[in-house]
Structure 1
Amino acid sequence: MTSSESQEKSQEPTTVPSSSTSEASQPQDVQPKAKVSSSDMEFYYKNLLPFRYVFQWLNHSPKPSTDFTMREFAYEFQSGAYRRYNSFDSLEDFKESIVKNNPSRFEVGAVYEINPRDRKSVPKSKMKPMEKELAFDIDLTDYDDVRTCCSKTAICTKCWKFITIATKIMDVALREDFGFEHIIWVFSGRRGAHCWVSDKRARQLNESQRRSVIEYMDVLKNKGTKRLNLRRPFHPHVQRSIDLLKAEFLDIILNEQDPWADDQAAFTALLKFPLEPLNKKLKEYWIENPGRSSLDKWSDINKICTDLSLQKYDLLAVNETKEELILEATYPRLDVEVTRQMNHLLKSPFCIHPGTGNVCVPFDSKNVFDPTKAPNLHQLQNEIIGWKGDNEVNDINRTSLKPYVESFGKYVTNLLKSEKNGKREREDESLEF
């Protein structure tokens, strides 16, 4: 065990800055609680952020390598200032710089051919990103046309279900269709989720290859047009997604969001159906029977189809349109540039969201994650103050942050094992004649 590791594992309990404790409270939602001060952030960096795991996650080894030392980091400060092209020589250098500069958050960038801090001494053409985790970003504001419970920056457990289903669809595609293994999902701290893929194959993708990946995943690229115009029969990924989304659509969209309770919104949805007699009959029925829910109106489509004795071809067109409506409402809505651009930076796991004070914790896409119960900085400070157990226990283990750090640690351990095995295989291959 290194001296720094020993220090992290046995750190003495510390005093929480008094400036924040009077405002601290157990969070019940993901909206702002109390303002996060500079002293709050300093406390968090000194005592709670798991620097070693973040370092190993980005370094892919316990000892410093170019995967870390040639990587760009960016700082955002409470003043609004933004400083790019920071780089670090070691775990100790990394932690010392974060604590000293005390940013409101820090972001992770690509590994460069030239050390980022030396960029001014070389031509711009030399500053080429060589590797970077494959990343995805989902933001609930992109669902404002279908979520009725919240809008803009506000979220609740109802609309978080859009994120839940999105992570399931993407996780399956990344593992089964692309063969990636080292995938972690991270709460953005307010209204979204970030996905990081750390497989070596993923990190080595160039921008053209990343564009191909995001085009494969971005089924809604034609969203906003009258029809999605997806090729039939569906690609296996799209069909698998449809099969998963159909049941979720009834719960997430029709029951909880009820977006077509408003007749005008329902009339707009009808424009996507290609049969004028069906559209006319449904519109008349809804005008004559006001107050029908979205679930009722969805069932009305089948009822009116039966009443009209539609031909098989017309029924097929109706069902295809319904499938497209399901995709439009519930399929993952992705920020394409976050995935495509290698020089795009993304907030690190375990950062504090400056607007809410929430910790950007990792979560398992296979299990239910409740963003309203994610650890909050002021909550963590109160947990440390109220600790009644063994004084030898370090600060992380005194708080609700502990299971998230442990989960991330297991993920990092598996990643490092894979990297070590891959390196051994490459060395063995180089010895073959």
Structure 2
Amino acid sequence: MLAFYKRLYPFKSIFNWLNHEHVPTKLFTNREFAFTLQGDVYLRYNSFERADELKKQVCALNPTRFEIGPVYSARPRDKKTVRPANFTAQLRELVFDIDMTDYDAIRTCCAGADICRRCWAFIAAAVRVLDHAIRDNFGYKHLLWVYSGRRGIHLWISDREAMELTDEQRRALVGWLMVIQGGKEMHKKVNVRQGSRTLPPSIKSALDPLATVFGDLILEDQNCFESEEGWKALIQLIPDKAVAESLAAKWGTEPMRSSEDKWDDLKKEVRKFDKGTAKRNALQAAVEDIILQYTYPRLDAEVSKHRNHLLKAPFCVHPKTGRVCVPVDPAAIDSFRPERVPTVSLLLRELDEIAVAPGAGEDAGGEEGTGEHHSDWERTSLKPYVALLDRHVAALMQEVRQAKRAAPTYDASW
């Protein structure tokens, strides 16, 4: 880990991302950093003036990971000398967390902390839906998706308006995006409409692409309704008792029917009722709600509701997998493979190969210590991920520059 922090971690890029400018501002100097050390020692309310100061402290502590918190009204390291009323969280990226364990009730290929290419499709669908929903409905542009290193993905939104949201506004926004709600004891987790009325437009727009995902992922790949447990869970979501009992009897005597067959059986039952009738409308609404329940993003709402929430920094290393928490391009989310993400051991091997390669110059490893090693990550498989962050930062900084140029100036002439 120490070699990783000294030679590979992109502190400069992280600084630019958090600071929005090249010269330090309060967005960085008043930002909280929290460190997790060996033995579960947790150090909060750290703050720094520059990227090299952060790097020096990280290398001195060698944490297993570190987290990023809000921008406070005073420097977090001065918390003990500031009156509580003068130490408040003022700005914070709007963040979201999608974790694969929330899909354990419906995925059939893995469970718990395990993740594979097949169940990653749940995360991919969630990213596509949430990315479009936030861009189209709220107009936010600076969305950074970061793989968590193990079984999930984080979203950081750096638009100024998003950073200024109060806790109440964050709760309202998250509540508007929440479609899947309820614990294990609740069978029906989608309740976003009145009776059998049409879905809200924002959710309706996601239904068609999710219907395709439902067919490919739920019915074919995961085959969620093949087992008795799976089809009984589906039966619980059918509002018409007679239809539910009829399907349960059929599926109980024909246990080898595939999920696609059972879904066709349900659609045939729906078509038995005339269009426009109350029963047809109720069953049609139930079919749509089932698609949403199995494919719509499952959010950890508590992560998003509070400005003072801390979240693991991009490019940290997950201690269980050794994988780096790398940015992800939402446009290429379907081709992203968690198992291909660079690990610390792989990156250090790549550095070793550079060091022994014929003609390797002095810049291959840089000087020992905590100074910047600008070229080291560029020589490893970490390069495309840092480049992705830098492109995100460039767009963010460009907007900041444009806003400054457009701001009215005070005329001091007499």
TM-score by length of 2: 0.90
Bigger shift: residues 335-344 or 310-319 = 310-319
CA offsets 1:394-415 (integer angstroms, 9 cap, x no match): 3212211111111111111111
Aligned residue for 1:415? 396
**Aligned mates of 1:423, 1:84 — CA distance in 2:** 33
SS in 2 for 1:219: coil
Is 1:344 aligned to residue 309 of structure 2? yes
Bigger Cα displacement from structure 2, 62-71 vs 257-266: 257-266
CA 1:181 to 1:108, structure 2 compared with 1: closer, same or farther past 3 Å?
Answer: same
Aligned to 1:124: 84
Partner of residue 90, structure 1:
50
Is 1:375 aligned with 2:342?
Answer: yes
Q: Residues 28-427 of structure 1: matches in 2 within 5 Å?
A: 41-222=1-182, 224-226=186-188, 228-231=190-193, 232-306=197-271, 309-312=272-275, 313=277, 314-367=279-332, 368-387=335-354, 388=357, 391-392=360-361, 394-426=375-407
Q: Is the 8 A contact 2:179 2:191 kept in 1?
A: no
Q: Give aligned-pair identity as a percent.
A: 40
RMSD: 1.8
Deviation string 1:11-50 (CA, Å, 9 cap, x unpaired) is xxxxxxxxxxxxxxxxxxxxxxxxxxxxxx1000000011
Deviation at 1:389, TM superposition (A): 6.9
Structure 1 residues 120 and 320: alpha-carbon distance in aligned structure 2, compared to 1, 3 A threshold: same
Residue by residue, what CA displacement relative to the aligned partner does 1:49-100 show, whole Å, maximum 9, x if unpaired? 1110000101111111111001100001121111100000112211111111
Q: How many residue pairs align between the two structures?
A: 390
1:265 to partner: Cα distance: 2.7
1:111 counterpart letter in structure 2: V
Instruction: Give the distance between the partners of 1:226 and 1:181, measured in 2 at CA.
Output: 33
The secondary structure found in structure 1 opposite 2:324 is coil
Conserved in 1, the CA contact under 8 Å of 2:180 and 2:189? no
- Residue type of the alignment partner of 1:178: F
Matches of 1:239 and 1:432, distance apart in 2: 54
Deviation of 1:361 after TM superposition, in Å, equals: 0.3
Question: What CA distance in whole angstroms lies between the structure 2 residues aligned with 1:50 and 1:281?
Answer: 60
Q: Distance in 1 between matches of 2:74 and 2:239?
A: 56
Task: Summarize the Cα distance change of 1:194–1:432 in structure 2 as closer, same or farther, 3 Å threshold.
Answer: farther
Cα pair 2:187 2:236 within 8 Å, conserved: no
**Corresponding residue for residue 371 of structure 2:** none
Task: Give, as a single letter, the amino acid of the residue that structure 2 aligns with 1:229.
Answer: N
Shift in CA distance, 149/227, structure 1 to aligned 2, threshold 3 Å: closer
Aligned to 2:368: none
Task: Please state whether the residue corresponding to 2:165 is helix, strand or coil.
Answer: coil
Q: Supply the distance in 2 between the matched residues of 1:282 and 1:377 (Cα, whole angstroms).
A: 52
Q: Is the 8 A contact 1:119 1:127 kept in 2?
A: yes
User: Which residue identity does 2:291 align to in structure 1?
Assistant: I
- Give the gaps of 5 or more residues in structure 2: 365-374
Partner of 1:36: none
Residue 227 of structure 1 and its aligned partner are, at CA, apart by 6.1
CA offsets 1:167-217 (integer angstroms, 9 cap, x no match): 111111111111111111000000000000011111111111111111111
Q: Secondary structure at the match of 1:165?
A: helix
Runs of 4+ off more than 4 Å: 429-433
Distance in 1 between residues matched to 2:120 and 2:211, nearest whole Å: 18
Contact 1:245 1:330 in 2 (8 A): yes
Deviation, 1:230, is 2.1
Checking the alignment, whether the CA contact within 8 Å between 2:270 and 2:284 is kept in structure 1 is no
Alpha carbons of 1:328 and 1:48: their partners in 2 closer, same or farther (altered >3 Å)?
same
The 8 Å contact of residues 242 and 323 in structure 1, kept in 2 or not, is answered as yes
Higher RCO, 1 vs 2 (CA within 8 Å, ≥6 residues apart): 1
Contact 1:278-1:304 within 8 A present in 2 as well: yes
Alpha-carbon distance change, 302 to 197 in structure 1, aligned in 2, over 3 angstroms: same
Quick check: 2:35–2:63 contact (8 Å CA) kept in 1?
yes
Using a 3 Å threshold, how does the CA distance of structure 1 residues 328 and 429 change in structure 2: closer, same or farther? farther
Distance, in Å, in 1 between the alignment partners of 2:412 and 2:143 is 32
* CA distances 1:289-311 after superposition (whole Å, capped 9, x unpaired): 121121111111123445xx323
SS of 1:316's equivalent in the other structure is helix
Q: Is the 8 A contact 1:281 1:304 kept in 2?
A: no
Q: Distance between the aligned counterparts of 2:126 and 2:411, measured in 1?
A: 44
Aligned to 1:12: none
Determine helix, strand or coil for the equivalent of 2:149: coil
